[in-house]
């Protein structure tokens, strides 16, 4: 644990791309030292949206997928899974903590910093468990399945129609589950936007990239824009780089194809490297 802390603090000083957010606002007390390692993907912006919603000061180190930085030894020390986001912090007693998996990072942050329950419910409450339910649904369902749709629709070396259909249909099915839930209220759980909403937001915002339309899901589309009106969501979605999901709709399929080409090279190189291990 100490080694990780040293590594992280070493990195803060030396990583050329690290920048600070909200440090002009009131500094969080009790040793808080939040450092987010991220990319502007649906999983990455979940955490920056939450940090902005909570108004917390934090350091950001953008990770470069094209340089395969998420597989470099210093990053694997923080997250052996080699995925983003990852987060380090210091507990009130000075002990360092480092976490990966966006869902668990979000729960840690609200547990510790959202003591007024602006975007969460008290631990052990009915609503608290329901938020956890929807968070797990996003982590185990919406994220992985929409991610597979992206793979087969945008990145796969060969076009497999069954793969495209399978995961686009599953994404649509998952959107319909959200649609039905949002018929009951403005947010997934209760009377407020919570980490369950933030966790899903980046994925739903990127629907066009996965080749899925929101036309059949009016409540979901209204929810997407309702959340976008929140200053925290607006700020957080652009960390560490401008959020482009909404611009995709204005591009031709040829332009989108070009966008995908840029990523294809490193996606496939990464897959090959993993396969060799």
Residue 105: CB minimum distance to another protein, A = 8
> Does 139 participate in binding another protein (rule CB under 8 A)?
yes
Contact window for another protein (CB under 8 A) among 29-37, 121-129, 185-193, 225-233: 121-129
Q: Quote the CA–CA distance of 149 and 156 in Å, as a whole number.
A: 10
> Does 156 participate in binding another protein (rule CB under 8 A)?
yes
User: In the block, which residue shows the tokens 């990523």?
Assistant: 263
Q: Quote the CA–CA distance of 8 and 144 in Å, as a whole number.
A: 29
User: In the block, which residue shows the tokens 């070009």?
Assistant: 258
By CB under 8 A, how many residues form the interface with another protein? 49
Nearer to another protein, 6 or 133 (CB): 133
Q: Which of 140, 185, 218, 231 binds another protein (CB under 8 A)?
A: 140
Nearest Cα neighbor of 31 from 1, 5, 60 is 5
Q: Quote the CA–CA distance of 61 and 142 in Å, as a whole number.
A: 26
> Does 157 participate in binding another protein (rule CB under 8 A)?
yes
Contact partners, residue 67, CB within 8 Å, separation at least 6: none
> Does 209 participate in binding another protein (rule CB under 8 A)?
no
Nearest Cα neighbor of 46 from 115, 142, 116 is 142
The DSSP output letter for 122 is: -
Residue 62: CB minimum distance to another protein, A = 22
Nearest Cα neighbor of 87 from 38, 135, 49, 41 is 38
Per CB under 8 A, contacts with another protein among 70-89 are: 76, 80-82
Nearer to another protein, 24 or 161 (CB): 161
> Does 47 participate in binding another protein (rule CB under 8 A)?
no
Tokens of 81: 């899974």
> Does 62 participate in binding another protein (rule CB under 8 A)?
no
Nearest Cα neighbor of 36 from 226, 236, 224 is 236
Q: Quote the CA–CA distance of 201 and 219 in Å, as a whole number.
A: 13
> Does 162 participate in binding another protein (rule CB under 8 A)?
yes
Nearest Cα neighbor of 193 from 225, 147, 215, 217 is 225
> Does 48 participate in binding another protein (rule CB under 8 A)?
no
Residue 107: CB minimum distance to another protein, A = 6
Contact window for another protein (CB under 8 A) among 27-35, 122-130, 228-236, 238-246: 122-130
Name residue 21's beta-bridge partners: 58
> Does 120 participate in binding another protein (rule CB under 8 A)?
no
> Does 44 participate in binding another protein (rule CB under 8 A)?
no
> Does 132 participate in binding another protein (rule CB under 8 A)?
yes
- Collapsing DSSP to helix, strand or coil, 55 comes out as coil
Residues binding another protein (CB under 8 A): 76, 80-82, 91, 95, 97, 99-104, 107-108, 111-112, 123-124, 126, 129-130, 132-133, 135-137, 139-141, 143-145, 148, 151, 156-158, 160, 162-163, 174, 177, 180-181, 271, 274-275, 277
């Amino acid at each position: 644990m100490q080694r990780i802390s040293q590594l992280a603090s070493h990195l803060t000083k030396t990583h050329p791309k690290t920048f600070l957010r909200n440090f002009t606002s009131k500094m969080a007390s009790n040793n808080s030292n939040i450092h987010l390692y991220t990319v502007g993907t649906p999983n990455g912006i979940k955490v920056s949206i939450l940090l902005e919603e909570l108004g917390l000061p934090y350091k950001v180190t953008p990770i470069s997928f094209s340089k395969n930085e998420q597989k470099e030894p210093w990053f694997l020390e923080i997250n052996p899974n080699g995925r983003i986001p990852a987060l380090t912090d210091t507990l009130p007693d000075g002990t360092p903590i480092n976490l990966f998996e966006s869902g668990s990072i979000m729960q840690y942050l609200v547990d510790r910093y959202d003591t007024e329950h602006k975007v969460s419910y008290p631990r052990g409450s009915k609503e608290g468990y329901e938020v956890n339910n929807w968070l797990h649904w996003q982590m185990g369902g919406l994220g992985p399945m929409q991610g597979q749709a992206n793979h087969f629709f945008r990145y796969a070396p060969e076009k497999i129609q069954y793969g495209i259909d399978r995961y686009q249909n599953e994404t649509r099915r998952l959107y319909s589950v959200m649609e039905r839930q949002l018929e009951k209220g403005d947010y997934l759980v209760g009377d407020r936007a919570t980490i369950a909403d933030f966790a899903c937001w980046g994925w739903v915002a990127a629907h066009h990239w996965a080749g899925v339309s929101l036309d059949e899901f009016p409540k979901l589309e209204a929810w997407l824009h309702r959340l976008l009106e929140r200053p925290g969501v607006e700020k957080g979605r652009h960390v560490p780089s401008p959020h482009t999901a909404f611009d995709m709709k204005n591009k031709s399929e040829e332009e989108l194809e070009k966008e995908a080409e840029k990523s294809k090279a490193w996606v496939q190189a990464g897959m090959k490297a993993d396969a060799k291990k």
